[in-house]
Amino acid sequence: MLRDEYPLYLAGHPTETTARLDVHNKYTGQPATRVALADRATVEQAIAAAAAAFDQTRRLASFERQRILSHIVHELGERYEEFAHVLAGEVGKPIRDARVEVGRAIDTFRTAAEESVRIVGEYLPLDIGPRSAGCEAIVRRFPVGPCAFITPFNFPLNLAAHKIAPAIAVGCPWVLKPASATPVSSILLAEVVAESGWPLGAFSVLPCRAADAEPLVADERIAKLSFTGSPEVGWALKARAGRKRVTLELGGNAACIVDRDADLERAAERITFGAFYSAGQSCISVQRVLIHRDVYDTVRSRLVERAAGLRVGDPLDEQTFLGPLISEADARRVETWVGEAVRAGARVLCGGRRQGACYEPTYLENVPRDARVSCQEVFGPVATLEPFDDFKAAVAAANDSAYGLQAGVFTASLDHAFYAYNELQVGGVIINDVPSFRVDSMPYGGVKASGTGREGVRYAMEEMTERKVLVLRGAGGVQA
C-alpha cells in the first residue's frame, strides 16, 4: 500500500523538494518509497509558521479543538488497513501488531478529544491573613506555544499521536520530525490533520537530517521540545534546549519479577509477549527476568517452550509474531552483544541466531551483570533469566540499572506488590503483568537515564500548558 513518493508537509501544505529520502522495506531490504527531505531553511520556515499560527490556535474554543480531534479519529478508522500496511512495510512490524498500533493511535486521539473540553482550573481563597482580606483568585491553564516533536522508528504512528493529540487538545502549534527510517505514517497522519480544520500554518511534518533539525532544539520561538529516542541523543538535546520546556522519553532495560506465589502460566504467557513483541524494539520490552528460585526451573522451561513456538518472518504473514529489526546492522549488533555474553559465561537457552535483519527470540541465563545484554538496552528480542531467593533482593537487583522506565511484578502478595511500588526506582510498576503494559491514557515516563516528564494524554496536556493566576481584590463589593 506504499505509494511511490510522498511529500513533506510545510505549514499544513504538501510540499515537494529536490532532495529525497529513500525508505526501505525492513523485511526485504529493498527500496519501498521515497519522501521529500527538508533542509534547514525549510525547518526554519515551519517554526516561523507555527509561531505566527499560535495567536489563532490559542483562541480556538474547546469544542472546536474537540471537533478537530474527532475528525482525526474518524479518518484513522476509515484508513485503518492503509495505515497498518504502511507500518508493516516501513517498520517491519507484523501486521497484527501494526493493526494494534493503529487502534492505539485512535484511542490516543479519542482520549485527547475527550480531554480537550475538560481543561479545568481552580478557585483559590486568598484571605489567609488581614493583608489579603477580600482577595480571591482563579487559576487557568493556557497553551505554552509552538512545540517541536521528534519521534523514533519503533512506534512511529502512536508515538507521534502522543505528541500531536495533546498539542491540538490545548491549542499549541507544532512541528514534527519523524525518524528517517519510518517517516511515511507521520506523513499520512499529516494528510488527515490537513483536512481536520486545524489551522494549516499550525503544523508541519518534516523528514530531515539530524543536523538540519537543530533549530527545533535551539530556536527560542519553540516553547516546548518533546523527544522520544535514545538517552545519548535525548540528554544532549536537553543540554542545548535553553529555556524551553523539555520532555524526554528515553530508553530502558526493564526488569520483570516472578514471585514464588505468582500465576506461573500467566507469567510465562505475558513475559513471552513482553520480551518479543515488536522484535523487542520497545523501551519497555522485558529484558531482565528475575524468578524466585523455588519456581525458576518451571518458569524457565515454560518460557523456552513458548519462545520456540513463535514464528519469525514476513510481517505481512498473519501468523508472524516477530518481524525484522529496523535494519540488518541492528540485528548484527544484537548478535554481537549475545556473543559477548556467551564468551563471558552466559548460556543460550533458546534462539541466538540471526538471519538477515531477523533475530530469533532468545533467552540467556548466567549472564554477568556487566554484560551489555544486561546493563544496556538491547532493543532486540533478547532477555536474561536470573533466580533470586529473597523478594527484597530481587527489587534491589531490578534497581541495579542506569534506567528506570517501568517494571513488572507477578505476585499474589499484597505486601510484596506495595513493597515493589514503594521501592522500585521506575516511572511505573505493573502488578501481575509485564513492564511492556501501557494504556495510552495513563502517565508514562521514567526516572534516572530513562527521561524526564510524563506522557499519556492528560499528563502531556499539562506539560504543554502553564498556569496563570487572576487575582481579584475586593471583587463582588457593592458600592452605595
pLDDT digits (tens, 9 = 90+) for 50-69: 999 999 999 999 999 999 99
376: pLDDT strictly greater than 70 = yes
Catalytic residue status for 283? yes
Query: Do 107 and 140 share a domain, yes or no?
Result: yes
Three-class SS state of 470 = strand
Q: How far apart are CA 285 and CA 137, in angstroms?
A: 46
Residue 34, Cβ neighbours under 10 Å: how many? Answer: 15
Q: End-to-end alpha-carbon separation of the chain, Å?
A: 75
Residues 152-187, buried b or exposed e (16+ Cβ, 10 A)?
bbbbbbbbbbbbbbbbbbbbbbbbbbbbbbbbbbbb
Res. 167: pLDDT tops 60: yes
Model confidence at 479: pLDDT above 60:
no
Q: Both 213 and 330 in a single domain?
A: no
Alpha carbon distance 54, 11 (integer Å): 12
Q: Indicate if 145 and 176 belong to the same structural domain.
A: yes
Specify the pLDDT at position 391. 98
Does residue 212 have a pLDDT over 60? Answer: yes
Strand 174-177 and strand 203-205: the pairing is: parallel
Q: Judge if 152 and 278 occupy the same domain.
A: no
Same domain flag for 394 and 273 = yes
Q: Same domain for 194 and 302?
A: no
Residue 10 lies in a domain: yes
Mean pLDDT for all residues in the chain: 97
429-452 per-position pLDDT tens digit = 999 999 999 999 999 999 999 999
Judgement on whether residues 133 and 18 belong to the same structural domain of the protein: yes
Instruction: Report d(CA 309, CA 281) in Å as an integer.
Output: 20
475 occurs within a structural domain: no
CATH number, domain containing residue 456: 3.40.605.10
In this structure, the answer to whether residues 212 and 71 fall within a common structural domain is yes
Q: For residues 208 and 336, state if they share a domain.
A: no
445 inside domain: no
Over the range 388-405, which residues count as b (16 or more CB within 10 Å of their CB) and which as e? Answer: beebeebbebbeebebbb
Candidate list 283, 358, 360, 455, residue with the active-site label: 283
User: Which pLDDT does position 475 carry in this prediction?
Assistant: 74
In the beta sheet, which residues pair with residue 122?
Answer: 139
User: What is the average per-residue pLDDT within 141-170?
Assistant: 98
Long-range contacts formed by 116-119: CB under 8 A, 24+ apart: 116/62, 116/65, 116/66, 116/69, 116/168, 116/169, 116/170, 117/62, 117/63, 117/65, 117/66, 119/62, 119/169, 119/170, 119/461, 119/465
- The helix, strand and coil proportions of the chain, stated in percent and rounded to the nearest 5, come to 40, 25, 35
416 within 8 A of 371, measured Cβ to Cβ: no
The identity of residue 429, as a single letter, is V
Residues 197 and 313 in one domain: no
pLDDT for 98 equals: 98
Number of domains in the chain: 2
Residue 1: predicted pLDDT: 75
Place 480 in a pLDDT band, splitting at 50, 70 and 90: low
Q: Specify whether 245 is located in the same domain as 267.
A: no
Give me the domain span that covers residue 135: 5-250+450-468
Residues 143, 286 share a domain:
no
**Residue 478 reports pLDDT greater than 90:** no
CATH code of the domain covering residue 398: 3.40.309.10
Say if 47 falls within a structural domain. yes
> Cα(166)–Cα(326) distance, rounded to whole angstroms?
28
Q: Is residue 117 included in any domain, yes or no?
A: yes
Confidence class of residue 409 from pLDDT cuts 50, 70 and 90? Answer: very high
476 part of a folded domain: no
Q: Is 480 among the domain residues?
A: no
Q: What are the C-alpha distances in Å from 342 to residues 47, 386, 444?
A: 49, 15, 34
**For residue 319, is it within any domain?**
yes
- CA distances 110 to 80, 174, 444, Å, are 15, 19, 18
Residue-wise pLDDT tens digits, 14-39: 999 999 999 999 999 999 999 999 99
Task: Give Cα 412 distance to the centre of its chain.
Answer: 30
Catalytic residue among 90, 115, 249, 462: 249
In the block, residue with C-alpha cell 517494571? 407
Q: CB count, 10 Å around CB of 285?
A: 28
Q: Is 172 marked active-site?
A: no
